[in-house]
Structure 1
Amino acid sequence: MTSAPLDSALPLTFLGPEGTFTESALLQVPGAEAMERVPSTTAAAALAKVRRGEAFAAMLPIENSIEGGVPATLDAISNGIELRILHEVVVPVSFVLVAPAGVSLADITAVGTHPHAWAQTRDWFGENLPNATHAPANSTAAAAHALVAGTDAFQAAVCAPLVAQQTGLNILAAGIEDNIGAVTRFVLVGRPGSLPEPTGADKTTLAIPLPDDHPGALMAILEQFASRGVNLSRIESRPTGQFLGHYIFSVDVDGHIKDARVADALRGLHRVSPEIRFLGSYPRADKQQPQIRSYNSDGAFDDAAAWVQSLL
């Protein structure tokens, strides 16, 4: 079972401009191709459109297999009016080095691209253009489009092959990623509504503030998952920006909020951290089902609840 196809009069938005890996991820969501799609310059801007009701949902990168979580997305989702992750997509990542006509490798002193793309091509540049500096851009496609517009901040850009085709820039080198097989995980984020039904291969995302800093504070959070057999597939700390040492833990767990073990873990987490934020339960892109011990099954939780009730 998969999520229902998207259907809304409102447009979708994504981290633009056109041709980004993010747009490619969006087009993999059933129904997205038939809807209006509007690019946004930043993750915060994209989610602001969703929160204001100007867009139905926003597709954003949240995790990379090489660099880990994407801070801009994690922070934008975890703060502000509550939102929900509706869908996830995993996209293989391959990069090309592009430049306008007449520019050769010997002419390049600065390269524009997104910081994650630069991090994934460091080895190639170390071997081929060791003196080239990085000029950060909001996205790989934005850097390529800046070249087309005539920027003098850099002479070349790292982007997706699709962007090279769309812009007509020359490809100076292809397959420059340091880790063949790297992937980026994208999430489609919308406003709270009905949850996708459990599929048996689901993921739940949470933002859990650390209520106060004391010995065992993190353990009190983690044991809520461990004692119920809920596996964490990702955990990262992000500063709240309020004061030094104040953090939110961004967590992905295997399972759906309608699974008894996950629901019970959330009850325990709410006792420990009342400001916990539920960011959605949705089908996993890889469709991998978690291994669940018999005593953590829905039936085991039901039997335990019935046994306690019989004692009252």
Structure 2
Amino acid sequence: MTGTGHDGRPRYAYLGPAGTFTEAALRQVASPDDAEYLPQVDVVSAIEAVRADRADHAVVAIENSVEGSVTAVLDTLATGDPLVLQREMIVPVSFVLAARPGTTIGSVRRVAAHPHAWAQCRRWLAEHVPGAEHVPATSNTAPAATFASGERHPGFDAALVPPPAVGPYGLVPLAEGVADNHHAVTRFVLVGRPGPVPPRTGSDKTTLVVHLPSNQAGALLEMLEQFATRGVNLSRIESRPIGDSLGRYSFSIDAEGHVDDERMAEALMGLHRVCPHVRFLGSYPRVDRPHGDVRPGTFDADFAAARTWVEALREGRAH
């Protein structure tokens, strides 16, 4: 459902305030002229805004090439009213060490930064601002907004912010291109309510949450075999605590393929048969190339031919 904002435009919740990398990802989906941007204080609030019908979609970071997955997003999508991923976007990540006019890099003692930003710049900071104390921030632009508010003693001297946040918040750059890994990117996803699945493109991804069929030896193998025997490659799999007791985990999975692919549909049916809980989080176009080739015998035509053969056996037309 879209177009339910006060002016008829679709509403997009995202991690704000303005100028975050999340806003850059959102701009790949819809321009501010065509949509209502709804900045949120954290990624959980952005997702819950969709569930509460305060937004039609949410754009949230789900994985960083350096720091790995955003666990708050994985866990929020794994429970609660069902939501699905409809698209993914990639945004290159580098930072500016910025401050109010008149600040020099030599005078910086405390640096505000989102924890992921701090982790991605830790070595650079140790070399160029040795001994600087980390002041955690709720988003990459929250410290810039604090500087711009005019607060006399914000509790930090400088901040790691996205390049687009420097000018609008009246800051000056102390250093640009700040990063330990200059190839770092963050993957964002567009979250919405369940509905018709986007058509397959031939380069797709399916995201799932799966609970193991039992807590016995071999349970993980039994789950993974549902993919392996159908030739479905997994590009990401990680365990997350279910939360009801120690030692119980679910698995967050990205599988290469679309629910309309025969091999993926067969794998999903296998999971449904053997696992107590399978949450489908969507099939959607991927932004990068698949990591694995389709194995011979697992193309759609192979499954169709095998099904036709079995039907002929049942009817006595083949042996």
TM class by shorter chain equals over 0.9
4+ residue runs of structure 1 moved beyond 6 angstroms? none
Task: Find the aligned partners of 1:52 and 1:78 in 2 and give their Cα distance.
Answer: 16
2:87 pairs with 1:87: yes
Task: Find the aligned partners of 2:140 and 2:228 in 1 and give their Cα distance.
Answer: 39
CA deviations 1:230-276 (Å, max 9, x no partner) are 11111111112221111121111111011000111111111222311
8 A Cα contact 2:147 2:169, kept in partner: no
5 Å-filtered alignment, 1:161-310, equals: 161-286=163-288, 288=290, 291-310=293-312
Task: Find the aligned partners of 1:255 and 1:152 in 2 and give their Cα distance.
Answer: 48
Q: CA deviation at 1:216?
A: 1.4
Q: CA 1:225 to 1:29, structure 2 compared with 1: closer, same or farther past 3 Å?
A: same
Q: CA deviation at 1:177?
A: 0.5
CA deviations 1:194-226 (Å, max 9, x no partner) are 110000010110111234322112111111111
What TM-score do the two structures reach when normalised by structure 2? 0.92
> When the two structures are aligned, how many residues end up with a matched partner?
307
8 A Cα contact 2:212 2:276, kept in partner: no
User: What residue identity is the alignment partner of 1:74?
Assistant: L
Q: CA 1:289 to 1:212, structure 2 compared with 1: closer, same or farther past 3 Å?
A: closer
> What's the counterpart of residue 134 of structure 2?
134
Task: Find the aligned partners of 1:308 and 1:31 in 2 and give their Cα distance.
Answer: 51
Task: Find the aligned partners of 1:100 and 1:28 in 2 and give their Cα distance.
Answer: 30
CA deviations 1:178-208 (Å, max 9, x no partner) are 1112110000000001110000010110111
Task: Find the aligned partners of 1:166 and 1:286 in 2 and give their Cα distance.
Answer: 32
RMSD: 1.7
8 A Cα contact 1:201 1:289, kept in partner: no
Task: Find the aligned partners of 2:285 and 2:33 in 1 and give their Cα distance.
Answer: 20
8 A Cα contact 1:83 1:190, kept in partner: yes
User: What residue identity is the alignment partner of 2:187?
Assistant: R
Q: CA deviation at 1:287?
A: 5.3
Instruction: Name the SS for the 2:199 alignment partner.
Output: coil
Task: Find the aligned partners of 2:275 and 2:133 in 1 and give their Cα distance.
Answer: 43
Task: Find the aligned partners of 2:57 and 2:288 in 1 and give their Cα distance.
Answer: 22
Task: Find the aligned partners of 2:30 and 2:301 in 1 and give their Cα distance.
Answer: 33
What TM-score do the two structures reach when normalised by structure 1? 0.94
- Whose radius of gyration is greater, 1 or 2? 2
8 A Cα contact 1:13 1:55, kept in partner: yes
